Structure 1
Amino acid sequence: MPETQNKQILLVSRPKGIPTTDNFQLVEQPMPVPAQGEALIRTLYLSVDPYMRGRMSDRKSYVPPYNLQEPIGGGAIGEVIESKTPELQTGDLVVGPTGWQTHAIVMPKQVRKIDPSIAPITTALGVLGMTGLTAYFGLLDIGQPKPNETVVVSGAAGAVGMVVGQIAKLKGCRVVGIAGSDNKINYLLNELKFDAAINYKTTTDLQEALQAACPNGIDVYFDNVGGEISDAALSLLNFQARIPVCGQISLYNQEEPDVGPRIQSQILISSAMMKGFIVGNYAERFPEGAAELARWVKEGSIKYQENIVEGFENTVQAFLGLFKGENLGKQLVKVSDQTK
């Protein structure tokens, strides 16, 4: 039976602290109809990511906040089911920022075709998509790891962190990961071959644990979480250390400004460089990063994990799970099956 409704998840109120289900609403809209030059896609998978929490607040950031009563924006993989443009054919698989909805109207310039022969299509939202590219450019352009240096990664079992650590290993570094469960620690050590890993939830003295894991200090600290974890890592910086600042998930749900150690003196003493970035800064170099990541994945040099939740109606719960540390690797929601 042909589908007649487009389901969407709207942001209906701005979260105070940790988001709840009350901040969202699932609605049904009439199925959109493509105009000339457009195509209708049916969502197969959608992405839920920590950065989305920041966009739910009405404050200045590197991207505008979400509007209330509109679908949550974000990356998704879809299948073209109706096309009025020669650039997209029925059955084409595409990835683009179509957000939390089961169907979307797109123009060809808004999406990128996926070649399923390279890797499973879900990788277009993870290791071969924005998260992989974030790891690639953040570590190699800002972190600039060198053989025998020590690289510490917070949020190391997340979609970005696990790729950062593996690239650092490929560059000949000692890699130390910080994560929040024994299962994640075991994965980092046994599957990804990190040199050391620390469970920050069970370690009684994180700084002491980091000192033991980093006997030669820290040359690169890839910061995904901020907060007290970063305070501990920054105290161990070597001369001319580099700190790519990718995310601050430990702070996203705070209502009051964060208060912590003032780090300027530590940066000065170490002659260290700390630089924030977003992956969009490297848009012109995406083909370079994507090609290298695809080669590493094909060779088996980089492994990846995906945590896939079934059902569009479970999207909000999948998103909330990010802040409980439920995901190992990339968090995705499977919305529907391919027709082919």
Structure 2
Amino acid sequence: MRTREVRLVRRPAGTLRPTDLEVVEVDVPRLADGQVLVATSHHSVDAAVRLRMDPVSPPGYLPAFGLGEGIEGLAVGTVLESRAAGFVAGDLVQHARGFREIAVVDATAGALGGAGALTRLDAALAPAEVHLGLLGGTGLTAWSGIVPVARAVEGETVWVSAAAGAVGSVAGQLARSRGCRVVGSAGGPEKVAYLRDELGFDAAFDHREGVAEGLAAAAPDGIDVYFDNVGGGHLVAALDHLRPFGRAALCGAVAGYDGTPAPGIDNLFLATSKNLTLRGFRAGAFAERADEVRVELAALWRAGRMRLDTATYDGLEQAPQAVVDLLTGRTRGKCMVVTG
């Protein structure tokens, strides 16, 4: 059997280019005991994939991709054949071997730090694209930052950066569902209007017009929680505006993902002087709560209180461009590649 996969053929020198990736035809490995064969229909495109394209990934993070080897990410598909207990042909599943049309998946592997373990999904609960985004890794990441990490509660003010993206948009809506006042920042007036007019954020501003100024105008009395997807100058502004005993959930630092270090943090002593809590996290640390998260977010989605728009690219050959578009801020909501 043959399939196609996306490979890293050149390590990016700064900004990723579509030609740094290629789509090639390869043999599908033979299925072994404990494995399943999956026809993948929806592939998640996430900014953190860029970190694994450098020669060495950050300490403690997932290993760097090898040159000439296939990349991977979260995905949803249908089991074609199973040699693993608990899975049968026809099952809708989530796995971590995305960016290939047909994947051999080890049913016992704790992929992507635990967040990408092979999981059977309830096809009646939601369609595949909702499972991939809102009810999958995106939702788990957003929930982890807002609930156990930041402990956001009713009446607090929450600022979410990169709020028009997949994780940011869910984090902001989740905070609003819990009675928080939510401020979002994004790049460009169209995204700002989207946050305010379509997602119902209480306030939104364009970070390109000035992060500190925009935050001061949107939250003049300060913030209690910062959900950080950007790092750099955004985190500097958050430290300035967090109230005493405020919390920052450090989810990502996309400002430094293109090989150029993000601006340094020159006001970190504010964490001491204001008794702040800054906690980095990865969704995999909360993987054992994925079923609980899926139930909560599905209920909000069915009630019309949660949405996750999609930026969809048709065909695996569009995957290199999809990754580039995501990293350069050209997409909104959940970016995914559809192959089935």
How does the TM-score come out when normalised to structure 2? 0.92
Cα gap change, 1:142/1:107 in structure 2, threshold over 3 Å: closer, same or farther?
closer
Matched, 1:102 2:107: no
2:225 to 198, 207, 220: 220
* Preserved CA contact (<8 Å) 1:311 1:333: yes
User: Do the aligned residues in 2 keep the contact of 1:146 with 1:171 (CA within 8 Å)?
Assistant: yes
**Residue 292 in 1 paired to residue 291 in 2?**
no
CA deviation vs aligned residue, 1:273-306 (integer Å, no higher than 9, x gap): 1111101111222222222122222222211111
Cα distance in structure 2, aligned partners of 1:15 and 1:71 = 15
Tell me, in whole angstroms, the C-alpha distance in 1 between the residues paired with 2:35 and 2:278. 43
- Aligned residue for 1:177, secondary structure, equals strand
Matched, 1:133 2:137: no
Residues 1:14 and 2:25 are matched in the alignment: no
Question: One-letter code of the match for 2:10?
Answer: S
Question: 1:38 — aligned with what?
Answer: 35
Q: Taking structure 1 as reference, are residues 259 and 192 closer, same or farther at Cα in structure 2, changes over 3 Å only?
A: closer
Partner of 1:211: 216
CA distance in 2, matches of 1:242, 1:175: 14
Matches within 5 A, 1:115-154: 115-154=122-161
Counterpart code for 2:334:
K
Measured at CA, do residues 190 and 68 of structure 1 come closer, stay the same or move farther in structure 2, by a change above 3 Å?
same
Contact 1:32 1:40 in 2 (8 A): no
How many Å apart are 1:103 and its aligned residue?
0.7
| Counterparts of 1:291 and 1:85, CA distance in 2 | 26
| Residue of 210, 235, 239 corresponding to 1:230 | 235
Q: Any gaps of 5 or more consecutive residues in structure 2? A: 109-116
Is 1:260–2:300 an aligned residue pair? no
Deviation at 1:157, TM superposition (A): 0.7
Q: Which moved further from structure 2: 168-177 or 103-112? A: 103-112
For 2:230, give the aligned amino acid. V
Q: 1:309 aligns with which of 313, 317, 338?
A: 313
CA–CA distance in structure 2, aligned partners of residues 85 and 239 of structure 1: 51
1:329 aligned onto 2:333: yes
1:232 is displaced (CA, Å) by: 2.1
Aligned residues, how many? 330
One-letter amino acid matched to 2:306: I
User: TM-score, normalization: structure 1?
Assistant: 0.92
Which structure has the greater CA radius of gyration? 1
Please give the secondary structure, in 1, of the residue aligned with 2:269: helix
1:13 Cα offset (Å)? 2.5
Q: Secondary structure at the residue paired with 1:235?
A: helix
User: Which residue of 2 is the match for residue 73 of structure 1?
Assistant: 72
Cα gap change, 1:317 to 1:214, in 2 (>3 Å): same
Partner in structure 2 of residue 48 of structure 1: 45
* Cα RMSD (Å): 1.7
Q: 1:237 to 1:107 in 2, by over 3 A?
A: closer
Looking at structure 2, the residues matched to 35 and 142 of structure 1 have their Cα atoms a distance apart, in angstroms, of 39
Over residues 151-171 of structure 1, what are the superposed CA-to-partner deviations in whole Å (9 max), with x where a residue is unaligned?
A: 000010111111111111112
Shift of 1:86: 6.0
Residue in 1 aligned with 2:162? 155
Q: CA deviation at 1:253?
A: 0.8
- SS of residue matched to 2:124: coil
**Pick aligned residue for 2:323 from 319, 324, 330:** 319
Q: Distance in 1 between matches of 2:220 and 2:163?
A: 19
* Runs of at least 5 residues in structure 1 that lack an aligned partner in the other structure: none
Q: 2:174 maps to what in 1? A: 167
Q: Partner amino acid for 1:237?
A: L
The 1-side partners of 2:199 and 2:257 are apart by 28
Matched to 1:294, the amino acid is A
Q: Could you say what secondary structure the match of 1:148 adopts?
A: coil
CA distance in 2, matches of 1:249, 1:83: 38
- Work out the CA distance in 2 between the residues paired with 1:211 and 1:36: 58
1:275 aligned partner:
279
3-state SS in 1 of match to 2:173: helix
Question: Contact 2:207–2:214 at 8 Å: present in 1 too?
Answer: no
Give the Cα–Cα distance (whole angstroms) in 1 for the partners of residues 62 and 6 of structure 2. 20
Kept in 2, the 8 Å contact 1:12–1:69? The answer is yes
CA distance in 2, matches of 1:280, 1:199: 31
Residue 254 of structure 1 deviates from its aligned partner by 2.9
How far is 1:37 from its partner? 4.5
CA–CA distance in structure 2, aligned partners of residues 277 and 37 of structure 1: 30
Contact 1:135 1:160 in 2 (8 A): yes
